[in-house]
Chain A
Amino acid sequence: MTPPQRRRRQSREQPPPEPVAAGGPKEGEQKNPERLYILTGAAAGGERAPIDLVTLIVTSADPPPTATPEQSALLRLCRAPLSVAEISAYLSLPFGVVTVLLTDLLTAELVQARAPIVRQAVPDRSLLEAVMHGLQKL
């Protein structure tokens, strides 16, 4: 039996093929998703570092009396470092909502953010070796 064959995509300059006739777009044919969720983009000031799923958040102060229930819950959760993804999971709040909450808490200096290590054009060998070593212990 022969497997199906992938065909390489054409260069990205080429416009996507027109959808076939009417009947609404089919699965995977919407070629221009744009921004699906604007809430978390560069906020008003635009100086804030983007919040990643694996930015680690640590609480740095007790909840003020004015804190909302969501803020209090978040501050309680992050007494030990916790990723934004975990905060979203434990609070059952969408990622975008958590980033908005965090933006306020960071501005008020109630939490600190530890930025993730992201992929570099020239990969960091010692980082990769550390991860390999950690996986070997698993």
Chain B
Amino acid sequence: MDFKSSDTVPGPRAEDHLPHTTQAAVKIVIVGGFGVGKTTMVGSVSEIRPLTTEETMTQAGIGVDDNYGSDTKTATTVAMDFGRISITEQLVLYLFGTPGQERFWFLWNGLFEGALGAVVLLDTRRLEVSFDVIGRLEERGVPFVVAVNSFPDAPRYPTAELRGALDLPEEIPIIECDARRRASSREVLMTLMRFLHSLAVQHVPA
């Protein structure tokens, strides 16, 4: 592998260093189809410029993409954008914008298993893209909320209709958002956290 000289590797800017007191990280996954605004949402709330981690997908995963005609022995690279929010001097939160296709999820160890929860980001113009994602999160027992990214030309459905279409139980929050706006994206994360908190409260014996 051709590797850059260690002297030239750009590291985090001084202001992007985590304090030495940081003991642990938690993560939240933002999952949705291509172009739904995952990276936009990550970028609008992240304290660092969004970064990209890559993973190489070897032959086993190839053939399911629309890469007809290309040499299927070539490995493809899958990229995932992420951002970061410092919570306390000891705790930091990472946000990962993850492709909706399950075959990508295997590439990163425990991407969903360890996550506090997930945000399913929807585009109502392509609602059906999210059906599989929702099913997979349900199967894996990952708690999630649904956020509808309000694109100007997208059809608007009443929440009840959307809930019916997505076949979601009443307790799972569905909210509209504008992923470009920090306050709106933060509210999505707060909605997820309040939902997780309500699940935690239910666990307390009466």
Contacts and interface: CB of A to CB of B under 8 A. Distances in A.
Contacts of B131: 4, 6-7
Interface size on A, as a range, is: 35 or more
Interface in A64-97: 69-70, 72-73, 76-77, 80-83, 85-86, 88-92, 94-97
Contact of B57 (A37, A99, A134, A135): A37
Contacts of B82: 53, 85, 89
Contact of B53 (A85, A114, A125, A128): A85
A71 B46 CA distance: 28
Interface in A106-138: 114-119, 122-125, 127-136, 138
A30 interface: yes
A35 B200 contact: no
Interface in B74-114: 77, 82, 84-88, 91-94, 96, 101-103, 106-111, 113-114
B70 interface: no
Contact of B103 (A3, A30, A50, A133): A30
A56 B25 contact: yes
A123 B101 CA distance: 27
Contacts of A40: 109
A51 interface: yes
B194 A95 contact: no
Interface string A27-61: 11110011111001000000000111111101000
Contact of B87 (A7, A99, A134): A134
Nearest to A54: B25
A24 interface: yes
Interface of A: 1-9, 12, 24-30, 33-37, 40, 50-56, 58, 69-70, 72-73, 76-77, 80-83, 85-86, 88-92, 94-97, 99, 114-119, 122-125, 127-136, 138
Interface of B: 1, 3-6, 9-12, 17-20, 22-27, 45, 51-58, 60-61, 63-66, 68, 77, 82, 84-88, 91-94, 96, 101-103, 106-111, 113-117, 124, 127-128, 131-132, 134-135, 138-139, 142-143, 155, 157, 161-162, 164-167, 182, 186, 189-190, 193-194, 196-197, 199-201, 203
